[in-house]
């Protein structure tokens, strides 16, 4: 009897050992990375493409992505971060709507030892120790500088604007790093060109509707834009909205008209470039998923990560390049962005 008991016990121990030996690596490999992605909302075509790209890449990489739509409200984003902390996710990706007001919740994420990584816009913190572990984003200041360089070059080439180029500006969400940095980059370059001047700015909140309303106001306040040389818009959607107002007022932009430049490179912007309504465009890639998820893995693995992974922002010039842009909207802009 004792012997039988002994055999049963040995068999049981062996079975347990075999089970743990054969299952642990499998179980470990199957444990998906759980990442919370706290998005600003869905204000623009670029934003929607960015959300779609983050989700698609997560699926491809087997990541369990917990998505929060911030609905353009910082409180909703903060609540999303707190929920992610409570869920004990592996990491949090934040696209902050505005720069300030994050100190408390960043402290909470740090206390919970959950790495928080920025994608897209930036934050400003009162204590550098609170700054997110790393950031994956384009350089918005550079984008603004590129836009101003385009206006300076194009104005210099046109006898009408060589001596004076008055610019109107459509600004993105107040307090967002995308609006603040783009405005600063543009202003930096403008300082070098005394004949170039921003004569009026209007906020369009990065939306089409906002851009249209802002342009309607500018058309009224700026004498039907008669003395305006260029329109500088912090994103494509506002300029696309503005185009509705401009066309209704019979004001020509792009080829043979007021210069325009905006940032993003959504599908409809390529169409406007090809149609001669937009003059130029700075491209912002929405596909930040690969770099963002790699950053999460690196941080979790304890690797040293750069403070900022800068994504490229090339520029497209409309004139003479219509054929080159066809491929972007050949499908009818069904998915909005086809870049
Ligand atoms: O250009 C705009 C969006 O934060 C850089 O936000 C981003 C900007 C983008 O709504 O379309």
Q: Cβ atoms within 10 A of the Cβ of 237, count?
A: 31
Give the mean pLDDT of 197-207: 98
**Interval 132-161: pLDDT, tens:** 999 999 999 999 999 999 999 999 999 999
| CB distance 169 to ligand 1 below 6 Å | no
Q: How far is the CA of 20 from the centre of ligand 1 (A)?
A: 49
| CB distance 284 to ligand 1 below 6 Å | yes
| CB distance 46 to ligand 1 below 6 Å | yes
At residue 22's C-alpha, the angle toward residues 28 and 89, to 5°, is: 10
**Interval 46-99: pLDDT, tens:** 999 999 999 999 999 999 999 999 999 999 999 999 999 999 999 999 999 999
pTM equals: 0.90
Domain 140-284+315-329, CATH 3.30.1660.40 — does that match?
no
Write the residue with the smallest CA distance to atom 8 of ligand 1: 178
Equal CATH topology for 32-138+286-311 and 140-284+315-329: yes
- Tell me the pLDDT band of 16, cut-offs 50, 70 and 90: very low
- 32-138+286-311 folds as Rossmann fold (3.40.50)
DSSP state letter for 249? T
- Tell me the pLDDT band of 3, cut-offs 50, 70 and 90: low
**Interval 62-73: pLDDT, tens:** 999 999 999 999
Q: Tokens representing 317?
A: 């010039």
Task: List the chain domain ranges.
Answer: 32-138+286-311, 140-284+315-329
Burial 148-182 (b: 16+ CB within 10 A, else e): bbbbbebbeeeeebeeebbbbbbbbbeebbbbbbb
């Amino acid at each position: 009897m004792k012997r039988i008991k002994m055999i049963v016990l040995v068999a049981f121990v062996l079975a347990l050992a075999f089970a743990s030996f054969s299952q642990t690596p499998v179980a470990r490999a199957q444990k998906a990375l759980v990442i919370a992605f706290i998005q600003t909302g869905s204000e623009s075509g670029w934003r929607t493409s960015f959300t779609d790209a983050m989700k698609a890449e997560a699926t491809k990489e087997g990541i369990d992505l917990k998505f929060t739509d911030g609905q353009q409200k910082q409180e909703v984003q903060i609540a999303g971060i707190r929920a992610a902390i409570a869920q004990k996710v592996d990491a949090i990706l934040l696209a902050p709507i505005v720069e300030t007001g994050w100190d408390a919740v960043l402290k909470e994420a740090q206390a919970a030892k959950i790495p928080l990584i920025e994608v897209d816009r930036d934050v400003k913190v009162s204590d550098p120790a609170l700054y997110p572990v790393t950031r994956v984003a384009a350089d918005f200041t550079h984008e603004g500088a590129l836009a101003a360089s385009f206006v300076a070059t194009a104005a210099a080439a046109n006898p009408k604007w060589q001596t004076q180029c008055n610019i109107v500006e459509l600004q993105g969400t107040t307090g967002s790093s995308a609006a603040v940095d783009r405005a600063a980059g543009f202003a930096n370059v403008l300082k070098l060109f005394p004949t170039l001047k921003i004569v009026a700015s209007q906020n369009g909140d990065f939306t089409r509707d906002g851009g249209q309303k802002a342009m309607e106001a500018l058309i009224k306040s700026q004498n039907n834009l008669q003395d305006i040389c260029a329109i500088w818009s912090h994103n494509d959607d506002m300029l696309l909205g503005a185009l509705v107002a401009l066309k209704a007022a019979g004001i020509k932009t792009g080829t043979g008209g007021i210069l325009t430049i905006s940032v993003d490179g959504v599908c409809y912007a390529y169409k406007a470039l090809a149609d001669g309504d937009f003059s130029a465009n700075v491209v912002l890639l929405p596909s930040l998923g690969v770099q963002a998820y790699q950053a999460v893995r690196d941080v979790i693995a304890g690797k040293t990560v750069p403070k900022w992974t800068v994504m490229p922002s090339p520029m497209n010039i409309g004139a003479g390049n219509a054929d080159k842009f066809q491929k972007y909207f050949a499908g009818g802009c069904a998915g909005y962005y086809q870049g």
